[in-house]
Every structure is written in C-alpha cells, then in structure tokens.
Amino acid sequence: AQSVAQPEDQVNVAEGNPLTVKCTYSVSGNPYLFWYVQYPNRGLQFLLKYITGDNLVKGSYGFEAEFNKSQTSFHLKKPSALVSDSALYFCAVRDLYSSASKIIFGSGTRLSIRP
C-alpha cells in the first residue's frame, strides 16, 4: 500500500534563509511524487511533481524538490524563504501501477516564515 510521511508538523524559518520541508514515501513500485500548497481557507495548489527523469525538479514560486530513491524521500526546498511562503504544504504519492486517481497525501507541514 502507498503511504507518505511528513515528519514535521511545523517548520519555522527566518525570511531570506533556506527552507526544507521533509517527505518520505512508501510504494510497492516506482513512485509518482507531488507537492501541493494550501493557503488559509483555500483549496490545494499544485507546486511540482516527479514522474521520471532528472531527480531534481523545479516548480512554482522558486520551489524545488529532490527525488532520492535510496532514501525514499522527496524533500521540498527553497534557497531563500519569503514571508508569503507561509502556508500548509502537502506531499503526495502515487504508485506507478495504481490508479491515476489513487493519490495518497501526507498529514501536512505548516511552514511559518518570520520577517
């Protein structure tokens, strides 16, 4: 069965510093991996995905993530945090051989950027 773990409920970073939001996954086959962001009282917005190819993927708003197969991780990173990055972030996974609709989400990490 697919599963995703986001080990940190909250991450606090000063503006201008690099940020990392951690995600590890478990699937039986090759994974498709995703990051989404949710602002207060809004739906989820897609940030980036890993399907195949280059392990370092770049997405919206300057975010990037690195797929590490040996560590089964897909951590979200940004070189320089902005106050406007404060939001709830979700990692999600789909097994290559499961339905395209069956995407499993982590519990979320609240990112707080202080000025």
Is there binding between residue 97 and another protein (CB under 8 A)?
no
Is there binding between residue 75 and another protein (CB under 8 A)?
no
The set of residues, in sequence order, having a beta carbon less than 8 Å from that of 99 and lying 6+ positions away, is none
Q: Which of 25, 32, 63, 74 binds another protein (CB under 8 A)?
A: 32
How many angstroms separate the Cα of 30 from the Cα of each of 20, 53, 57, 71, 111?
Answer: 23, 12, 16, 13, 28
Per this entry, what is the length of the chain? 115
In whole angstroms, the minimum distance from the beta carbon of 2 to another protein comes to: 10
Is there binding between residue 31 and another protein (CB under 8 A)?
no
Handedness of CA 53, 57, 59, 65 (dihedral sign): positive
Q: What does residue 91 show for φ and ψ, rounded to 5 degrees?
A: -100, 145
Q: Which of 51, 55, 60, 84 binds another protein (CB under 8 A)?
A: 51
Q: Which of 20, 22, 44, 66 binds another protein (CB under 8 A)?
A: 44
Residues that bind another protein in the complex, under the rule CB under 8 A: 6, 9, 32, 34, 36, 42-46, 49, 51-53, 90, 92, 94, 99-108
